[in-house]
Amino acid sequence: MLYFWSKFLKKIRGCAVKNSAIHRTSKIESGSNIVNTSMGRYSFCGYNCEIANCEIGSFCSISSNVVIGGGMHPMNWVSMSPVFYFGKDSVKAKFSRHKRELPLTTKIGHDVWIGQNVLIKQGVTIGTGAVIGMGSVVTKNVEPYTIVVGNPAKCIRKRFDDDTITKIIESKWWLFDEKRLIECAEYFANPKDFINYLEL
């Protein structure tokens, strides 16, 4: 019974989504704040995530406590404090209202898996099919179908050989409609069977 109430209280907090386009088949869990972001089909975002200025593809799996994008302080100014730049911030005082550069857009491809407690710097591109290991700090672009881990995140291996990766990317299966996905879903557990099916 305690478990039920704990889950209930966790979920009733709701999520905050602002200036964003989340596909109707996708899910944002409670406690997450999503701003200026788009998310494609059948993707999900776990609990307590902070995502800003991001383009997220379809079929992505984003675990809990993930931070993607966000703003940056102006390191080339005399001071980096928000009391000197335009906009509402934690500190109420404003000595000037200089405009900062617009934040860079972070791009997450299709079918990307992002583990718990990952931090992804603004402006980074994560390629389709990539895996970001939990706790990783991503400061540079990640190639498609690459597994990265660590702080800073580094490649440990690719998920498949180059020929398989090329053929899966060329298939663009994430654009298939529901009918075609149902037809070929039985082959998804084996990449070679999937490729053979498409080549018939």
β-partners of residue 35 are 18, 52
Torsion of CA 16, 18, 24, 26, to 10 degrees: -60
Task: List the catalytic residue out of 23, 73, 98, 110.
Answer: 73
The C-alpha atoms of residue 177 and residue 139 are separated, in whole angstroms, by 34
* DSSP assignment letter at 186: G
- Whether 98 is catalytic is no
Q: Are residues 23 and 39 in contact, defined by beta-carbon separation less than 8 angstroms?
A: yes
The C-alpha atoms of residue 11 and residue 46 are separated, in whole angstroms, by 11
As annotated, the active-site residues are 73
